[in-house]
Amino acid sequence: MLAKQKTCIYLALLSFLSTNEALRILVSFPLPSPSHSLLGKGVVKHLLAAGHEVVYITSFPEGRTNPNLTEVSVAPLKNRIEEQYKDERIKIKQLVGKGNWGDSIVFSYFTYMYHKSFLEDYNVTEFLSDPKQKFDVVLLEWFFFDAIAGIAPLFQCPLIWIGSTEAHWQILRLIDEIPNPAYNLDLFSTRKVPFSFWERIAELYMLVKKYIIKYVIFGLFERRIYHNVYSSIAKKRGINMPPYDETVFNASLVLLNSHPSMGTPFRLTQNVKYIGGYHIEEKVQPLPTDLLKLMNNAKHGVIYFSMGSNLKSIDMSDDMKSSLLAMFSKLKQDVIWKFEGDLEHLPANVHLVKWAPQQGILAHPNLRIFITHGGQLSTAEAIHFGVPIIGIPVLGDQYVNMRSTVDKGFGIGVDLTENIASDLIIAIEEMLANPRYNIRAKEISAIYHDRPVSPGRELVHWVRHVASTRGAAHLRSPALHVPCYQKYYLDLIGVFVATTALIIILARKFKQSSNIVKKKKTN
């Protein structure tokens, strides 16, 4: 009996150790964007803090700062791309009055070409070809390119997608069915739910158009990349790659950089988890002395203005810059403007910073308003710290994000125009005069923080879970294995139509036969 008890205790200890042992994890955020890199660093930070070993493929290497971290640098590729397209960089003044650039075929071409270059990069192919490299799980940022999923089967381990935006049909289709466009916004839509009749048609048209462009036209090229890139690497590793569709639709989990407090409460499957805000520091770094002094001494509070890391205020037209300065000069509040250069005739209450410690500024109690482009990270940080927003959406998911903040009552949207200063002052005066925006921001922040665990711990938990269950097959949606004709009962409709047609035909023939018999009898 004693021997049995010892055996049970021993097995229990083994079980405990096996579920808490360190994993070797590959993380890659391919896009050469500072904001996406920030999300990648957040993932790495939490995994390292949990004791795991991480290999991070990044365009923004920081050097070996942790013995459990290895960086694979693709910075040379980022530099080449920036140099090649430096004259074609998106500038704010070029987007005034234009539609959503993120909804164009140019955007699809950009994401395709960059990921193609990423997968063909020498540093990446050399690393992926190394048979000594082995991993327990692979975490990849999905950004409108499916073929990157081939990295996971190279290491014969589970794949976790990380979505950097709100939930939307293009990422959800990878692990379930496409959400109904009658009440689910496209990520780049500028509309609002509930839709009118014509808006429902427009949303459906947008979905069909994108599907054809992305998954029929560019899908052919992605399949070619999949076979051309991975086949030679797989041969070096001594494995055979699975078919393209099996790889792309074989993810174990999707981790979304979102939360219902931020956006739409989508109907999600069990293998989609919200971790929005995981990149935010648990303990905010102190502000630099000059900024801290400025914010402490601002008698009427501070307004912070930033267009993010990809869009630059310096790229505004001269008229926009001068009119904004003139407008800011009339405010009692001090204005901190993230501006990537210098301006002449600066008003006394306007302070330019080429780089802004945004989380520290948003955390300061003397901040009154955050004027932003409405990017996902900025929106999450504003909600985290309970700060009301004035948003100037320019492209991509910024329209959806700002629509959500307006609907939730803690934001005001302003269109990007040449005379933006006149619209912006109206929004600023409304927000300063009406306390409901600040009250609502605090209420939404409380909802955001009301979670069983922090988003960072949630992230680590699900990575462990996927690894320990060898892919978390028990969480996967059965919808992926059901063909469209069955999912929408097209076969049943076909049987019904065929049966009805057959009955009609037989009835007509029976009627014709009856008429013939009657005629014969009368004759």
Contact 374, 402 (CB under 8 A): yes
pLDDT value for 294: 96
Q: Tell me the two tokens of residue 131.
A: 């048979």
* Segments in 197-313 forming alpha helices (H): 197-211, 218-237, 244-248, 289-297
- Same domain? For 310 and 372 the reply is yes
C-alpha 214/C-alpha 171 separation (Å) is: 12
- Same domain? For 149 and 230 the reply is yes
Say if 9 falls within a structural domain.
no
Say if 220 falls within a structural domain.
yes
Structural domain tally of the chain?
3
- Same domain? For 377 and 467 the reply is no
- Of the CA atoms within 13 Å of residue 354, those in its CB half-sphere come to 4
C-alpha 390/C-alpha 414 separation (Å) is: 7
Q: Any bridge partners for residue 161, and if so which?
A: 140, 254
First-last CA distance in the chain: 103
3-state helix, strand, coil in the chain (%, to 5): 50, 10, 35
Q: Tell me the two tokens of residue 13.
A: 């200890």
Contacts of 29 (CB under 8 A, 6+ apart): 36, 37, 39, 40, 43, 57, 58, 141, 162
Q: Tens digit of pLDDT per residue, the chain (523 long)?
A: 444 454 444 434 334 434 458 999 999 999 998 899 999 999 999 999 999 999 999 999 988 778 999 999 999 988 888 877 666 666 676 667 666 666 678 888 889 999 999 999 999 999 999 999 999 999 999 999 999 999 999 999 999 999 999 999 999 999 998 998 999 889 988 888 889 999 999 999 999 999 999 998 999 999 999 999 999 999 999 999 999 999 999 999 999 999 999 888 888 999 999 999 999 998 999 999 999 999 999 999 999 999 988 888 888 889 999 999 999 999 999 999 999 988 888 999 999 999 999 999 999 999 999 999 999 999 999 999 999 999 999 988 999 999 999 999 999 999 998 999 999 999 999 999 999 999 999 999 999 999 999 999 999 999 999 999 999 999 998 888 888 788 778 888 999 999 999 999 998 888 777 777 666 666 6
Q: Which of 449, 466, 496 is the last residue of a domain?
A: 449
pLDDT value for 383: 97
Q: What CATH number has the domain bearing residue 276? A: 3.40.50.2000
- Same domain? For 107 and 168 the reply is yes
The length of the chain in residues reads 523
pLDDT value for 190: 84
Helix (H, G, I), strand (E, B) or coil at 518: helix
Helix (H, G, I), strand (E, B) or coil at 362: helix
Cα 88 from chain centre? 24
Contacts of 215 (CB under 8 A, 6+ apart): none
Contact 79, 198 (CB under 8 A): no
- Same domain? For 333 and 396 the reply is yes
Say if 272 falls within a structural domain.
yes
C-alpha 81/C-alpha 84 separation (Å) is: 5
Q: Which helix (H) or strand (E) holds 233?
A: helix 218-237
Contact 103, 188 (CB under 8 A): yes
* Amino acid occupying residue 345: H
- Same domain? For 28 and 142 the reply is yes
Q: Tell me the two tokens of residue 398.
A: 């910024």
Say if 2 falls within a structural domain.
no
- Same domain? For 234 and 333 the reply is no
Structural domain of residue 47, as residue ranges? 21-280+454-481
pLDDT value for 29: 95
- Same domain? For 49 and 92 the reply is yes
Say if 523 falls within a structural domain.
no
Say if 11 falls within a structural domain.
no
Nearest 5°: the CA angle 52, 146, 69 is 20
Say if 264 falls within a structural domain.
yes
Longest dimension (CA), the chain: 114
pLDDT value for 92: 72
Contacts of 268 (CB under 8 A, 6+ apart): 167, 172
- Same domain? For 247 and 230 the reply is yes
Which DSSP symbol is given to 177?
A: P
Say if 377 falls within a structural domain.
yes
Crossing angle of the two packed helices 122-129 and 218-237, in degrees rounded to 10: 50
Model-wide pTM > 0.85: yes
Helix (H, G, I), strand (E, B) or coil at 134: coil
- Same domain? For 67 and 196 the reply is yes
- Same domain? For 228 and 201 the reply is yes
- Same domain? For 243 and 293 the reply is no
Contact 462, 456 (CB under 8 A): no
C-alpha 270/C-alpha 42 separation (Å) is: 23
Q: Tell me the two tokens of residue 10.
A: 């021993």
